[in-house]
Amino acid sequence: MPDTVTGLAAKFRKALLLQDEKMIARLVEAYLRLYERLTDKIDLLMFEIGAMADPSKAAVSRLARYGDLLQSIENELSKYSAYTQVEIETTTRAAIDLAIKDTANYLQFYGLSQPAMLPTAAIETLLGFLSPEGAMYKWLGARSGENTAKVANALLEGIGFGYSPAKVARIIEEYLGGGLTEALRMARTAHMYAYREATRANYIMNSDVVQGWIWFAELDGSVCMSCVAQHGEIFPLSEKLDDHYNGRCSMLPYLGDNPLEQSGEQWFGEQSAEMQKKMMGQGKWDAWKDDKFKFGQLSTTTYNDVFGDMRGETSLKDLLSVVEKSGE
C-alpha cells in the first residue's frame, strides 16, 4: 500500500479511470453499430439525391427515403439513449462501490480501524440525478428527437447550399457523432460525480474525525485552470466537489492537516512560461502577469440542470469584467 495519502489517491484515481475507459469503450462500440445500421439508408438517400435534376430542400424533404432515414435515426437514437441509461446505472453503482472501499482505505490510513460506511443502495438514493424521474433521464429521453432534428436541419441546409451528396453524407455523420459526444460527456460526468458524492457521504458518516475534504486535481498538461485554482483548497463536508463535465478531480479527507505540499497556484507558478501560456492562453496569461485578476478568480460556478452547481474556468472577458466593476 502507498505510504502517503496522495499515493493512495493516485492509486484510487487509476482504478476509477479504468472503469471510465471501459464504459467509454462500450458506449463507442454501441454507437458505431448504430451508425453501421444507418449507413445503407444514408447511401440510398444520397444516391437518390444525386440522381435528381434539381435537389431542392422542398423536393428532398418529400422523398420517401428522406422520411425513412429520419425515422430510422430517431429509432436508433432512442435505443441508444436507453442503452446509455443502463450504462450510467451500472457504472455509477460500480463507482459508488469503489468509493466506499477507497474511503475506508483513506480513513484506515489515518488510523480509523473501523470507519462507518453507508451501503451502496443508500447512496444511490441520495444521488437525486439517478432518479428515473430526474433531470438526467429527461435529458436522455429528449436526445433522440432533438438530435434527429439537428440531422434533418443540417441535411436540408446542405442541400440548400448546393453541397454534393458526398458532402451532405459527411454532414450527417458529423451531426450523428455529436450525439455520441453528448452521451459520453453525460455518462462520464455521472460516473465521476457518483464516486465523489459517495466519498463525501462516507466522510460525513465519519464526521467525528473527518473535518472536511481537500480538492485534489491531476496537475498535468490537461488540467483546466479552474481545477488548478481549486487544488489544495479545504472545504466543509456540507459542500460537494462541483467539478465541470468530464472532471477528474477527487476529494482527500481533511483531518486537521493538509497533506498537499503545494497549492495549485504554487504549482502553476513553478511551471515554465511556455507551459503557463499553453495552459492559460496568451491573453489570460498577460492579464494575470499584469495583476488584472487574482488566481482564485480563474474558477467560476455556473448552474447545470442535471448536476446543479458546476465549476469551470472563467473566461478572460469575465475576469476583466470583474476588474472593471470593482473599479480596479
pLDDT > 60? residue 323: no
- The stretches of the chain forming alpha helices (DSSP H) are 5-50, 57-61, 64-109, 120-126, 135-160, 165-205, 225-230, 264-269, 273-280, 282-289, 316-326
Long-range contacts of 314-320 (CB under 8 A, 24+ apart): 314/226, 316/281, 316/283, 316/284, 316/287, 319/284, 319/287, 319/292, 319/293, 320/287, 320/292, 320/293
Q: What are the tens digits of pLDDT across the range 228-249? A: 999 999 999 999 999 999 999 9
Length of the chain: 328
Cell 504554487, residue?
A: 266
- 254 contacts 216 by C-beta, under 8 angstroms: no
Residue-level pLDDT at 147: 93
pLDDT for 12-32, tens place per residue?
999 999 999 999 999 999 999
- What are the phi and psi torsion angles at 284 (to 5°)? -70, -40
Count the neighbouring beta carbons within 10 Å of the beta carbon of residue 164. 12
pLDDT above 90 for 34: yes
Query: Any idea which residue has 488584472 for its cell?
Result: 292
Contact assessment for residue 217 and residue 142, using Cβ atoms and an 8 Å cutoff? no
pLDDT at 321: 85
Q: What percent of the chain has pLDDT over 70?
A: 97
299-313 mean pLDDT: 93
pLDDT digits (tens, 9 = 90+) for 59-92: 999 999 999 999 999 999 999 999 999 999 999 9
pTM, two decimals, is 0.91
Q: What's residue 134's pLDDT?
A: 81
- Residue 1 pLDDT more than 70? no
Which of 61, 200, 73 has the alpha carbon at shortest distance from 127? 200
Cell readout for 202 is 462516507
Cell, residue 294: 487574482
Tens-digit pLDDT profile for residues 112-157: 988 999 998 899 888 877 777 788 888 888 999 999 999 999 999 9
When the pLDDT of each residue in the chain is averaged and rounded to a whole number, the result is 92
Question: Looking at the predicted structure, is the pLDDT value of residue 54 above 90?
Answer: no
